[in-house]
Copies of this chain bind each other. A is one copy, B any other.
Amino acid sequence: MEDATTALVATDTAWLMVACAMVLLMTPALAFFYGGLVRRKNALNTMMMSFASLGAVGVVWAVVGYSLAFAPGNNFIGGLDYAFLRGVGLEAEGTIPHLLFFAFQGTFAIITAALISGAIAERMRFEAYLAFITLWVVAVYAPVCHWVWGGGWLHQMGALDFAGGTVVHVNAGIAAVVAALVVGPRRDHGRQAMLPHHVPFVLLGTGLLWFGWFGFNAGSALAADATAALAFVNTLVAPAAALVAWMILDRVFTGRVTAVGAATGIVIGLVAVTPAAGFVSPMSAIVLGALATGPSYWAIMRRSRSRLDDSLEVAAAHGLGGLTGALLTGVFATAAWGGVDGAIAGDWRQLGVQTLAVIAALVYSGGATFVLLRAIGAVLPLRVEDGQERVGLDVPFHGEQAYVDGDGALLTIPRPIEGRRLELRGPQPVSTATVQVSDI
């Protein structure tokens, strides 16, 4: 971040623009991944939680988030030099325009915040959620990002996190657990089967996420070089392996290869390879992708029977997937492929550093998220009313339904027929005869 004397490289600029657009697309993709998993009556609310992050986090990142993460500061947090994008211009930051680096990082912040929404789907008040993610990016994401990528203490210790296993996935995963606990389980949790209302949307989200993830991982090389190509290829093979592994697990344990499972497997492969992408060989990435499905599969099978209502499995998929990936990075990394030597290459030290980084993220993010949610909860109710949860959040909070026929929808703007009806509807004497009819 310090060296701004280098010159712009057009190829890197082009590649980072493309990568950044791809990462931006991941947030709408997540909206579909999550939106398909909830019940129809909450589809829009769930999708809006992702979309709203594009606005709220996008703006707060420009205002102050980026500065806290990347402006010169101390070991724990950046300064305010870049607040309101002061001093962030088109000069080179590495080999790309500083503003483009800001934007690329912004798309990471946006999706990390949106990831958490899966844990509190179908029951959190939309206003409270907006307040939460806005503050969370400032108070939790920006510091952790600074530690690892902004020159902070984990960076200095040599923690490897190529594209965000710790910063993005472990961070969001533990925040998800805390949020699910603080907001509490859905009223139907453990009592009713709450089924995904639209599995094709889950697959659509998965396809677009995978596409965007190439930008996420290979873009994190911040240049169109061999490292980027390595990260790119690993982002192809690791999820392929994870998908195969998940299909086998599913077939063995439930007897059938589910589509939601396949989607989950792909995502876990993507998550797990994120911290490792530029540091391990493709064959290692294949093994890593396949291995990472184990813990997450186990966790998902257990979770649904537990009291923890992490509704869309953020902790199991992203938290645990990111954690496994971060640790396995310490195992599989080799200097030959651009990392430092990890356990397999004979050096166990890196695994220790990785573990420390994960623990630090778990502790800080978990604690700060808890405090933040309690603080917001003291001002605004976090949770919808029981009746709202029963009819679904779409109508009470968004005034819309996802899929509408229009049956029985009457316009309320004044018009001839409406005028006539309004007059009918004032308080008026009701004859018993009338009552008989209407009151059956």
Say yes or no: A195-B404 contact (C-beta < 8 A), given A214-B24, A230-B99, A254-B399: yes
Assess the B59–A232 pair: CB atoms within 8 A: no
Assess the A24–B211 pair: CB atoms within 8 A: yes
Assess the B400–A200 pair: CB atoms within 8 A: no
- With A and B bound together, what is the CA distance between A259 and B266 in angstroms? 28
Assess the A32–B200 pair: CB atoms within 8 A: yes
Assess the A210–B100 pair: CB atoms within 8 A: no
In whole Å, how far is A158's beta carbon from the nearest beta carbon of chain B? 23
Which B-chain residue is minimally distant from A12 (CB atoms)?
B10
- With A and B bound together, what is the CA distance between A410 and B232 in angstroms? 43
Of A29, A40, A197, A262, most B-chain CB atoms within 10 Å:
A262
Which B-chain residue is minimally distant from A413 (CB atoms)?
B305
Assess the A200–B28 pair: CB atoms within 8 A: no
Q: In the assembled complex, which residues on chain B have CB atoms less than 8 Å from the CB atom of A242?
A: 55
Assess the A225–B10 pair: CB atoms within 8 A: yes
Interface: A339 (CB within 8 A): no
In whole Å, how far is A352's beta carbon from the nearest beta carbon of chain B? 28
Interface: A368 (CB within 8 A): no
Interface: A300 (CB within 8 A): no
Assess the B59–A286 pair: CB atoms within 8 A: yes
Interface: A54 (CB within 8 A): yes
Q: In the assembled complex, which residues on chain B have CB atoms less than 8 Å from the CB atom of A413?
A: 190, 304-305
Of A14, A18, A40, A196, most B-chain CB atoms within 10 Å:
A14
State which residues 181-213 of A face B: CB under 8 Å. Answer: 190-201, 203-204, 206-208, 210-211
Assess the A97–B286 pair: CB atoms within 8 A: no
Q: In the assembled complex, which residues on chain B have CB atoms less than 8 Å from the CB atom of A24?
A: 210-211, 214, 236
In whole Å, how far is A154's beta carbon from the nearest beta carbon of chain B? 27
Looking at A42-50, A309-317, A343-351, A378-386, the stretch in contact with chain B turns out to be A42-50
- With A and B bound together, what is the CA distance between A10 and B194 in angstroms? 49
Q: In the assembled complex, which residues on chain B have CB atoms less than 8 Å from the CB atom of A233?
A: 99-100, 102-103
In whole Å, how far is A410's beta carbon from the nearest beta carbon of chain B? 6
Q: In the assembled complex, which residues on chain B have CB atoms less than 8 Å from the CB atom of A390?
A: none
Which B-chain residue is minimally distant from A21 (CB atoms)?
B214
Q: In the assembled complex, which residues on chain B have CB atoms less than 8 Å from the CB atom of A405?
A: 40, 197
Assess the B90–A226 pair: CB atoms within 8 A: yes
Q: In the assembled complex, which residues on chain B have CB atoms less than 8 Å from the CB atom of A47?
A: 200, 203, 259
Contact for A85 among B54, B193, B225, B282, CB less than 8 A: B282
- With A and B bound together, what is the CA distance between A167 and B208 in angstroms? 26
Say yes or no: A90-B199 contact (C-beta < 8 A), given A29-B207, A400-B260: no
Contact for A397 among B206, B256, B404, CB less than 8 A: B256
Say yes or no: A201-B203 contact (C-beta < 8 A), given A15-B14, A229-B97: no
Say yes or no: A39-B406 contact (C-beta < 8 A), given A11-B10, A203-B31, A282-B99: yes
In whole Å, how far is A177's beta carbon from the nearest beta carbon of chain B? 21
16 additional A-B pairs beyond A10-B225, A55-B265, beta carbons within 8 Å, are: A8-B226, A13-B225, A13-B226, A25-B208, A25-B211, A51-B206, A51-B243, A51-B259, A55-B242, A62-B240, A84-B283, A190-B415, A192-B409, A193-B406, A198-B200, A258-B399
- Offer 12 A-B interface pairs, CB within 8 angstroms, sorted by A: A8-B225, A8-B226, A10-B223, A14-B15, A17-B218, A21-B232, A25-B207, A28-B206, A59-B241, A85-B283, A200-B403, A259-B400
